[in-house]
Amino acid sequence: MIDSEPGWTADWRFVATIDDLWEGDVGEFYVDDLPILLVHLRSGEIRAFEGNCPHAGFPLADGDVDGEVLTCSAHSWEFNLSTGAGLNPDTCQLRCYQVRREGDRIAVAVPQNGANR
């Protein structure tokens, strides 16, 4: 999970603890005013994506989760929670952020100063 455009620099920011995000759950967390969708897959892996639907900007954490598929509550767009790839439609993609765990804390690499590019 890398957002790696040339010249992209990131700040690692702690956004949650493992107790904030149970296995199989998604949650909305913030770095300054940037919404981050954290996903704790049943495999134990943690993923981080942009927090709003690329279609109309609705919070993805309000969507329905079925296995590894998230359906946006606003217009039913579907995303694969392992990759961020759009399933319906398949022409979209969630912006992915790098994630690392340090003990019980979860850190996400966000664009420098929390700014959305």
66-112: pLDDT as tens digits:
999 999 999 999 999 999 999 999 999 999 999 999 999 999 998 87
Q: Write down all domains in the chain, each with its CATH number in brackets.
A: 10-62+96-112 (2.102.10.10)
8-50: pLDDT as tens digits:
578 999 999 999 999 999 999 999 899 999 999 999 999 999 9
Distance CA 88, CA 108 (A): 27
Name which of 74, 71, 100 is nearest 12 in CA terms. Answer: 100
Provide the token pair at 110: 């966000």
Maximum C-alpha span of the chain: 37
Give DSSP secondary structure letters for 23-80: TT-EEEEEETTEEEEEEE-TTS-EEEEESB-TTT--BGGGSEEETTEEE-TTT--EEE
CB 26 within 8 A of CB 35: no
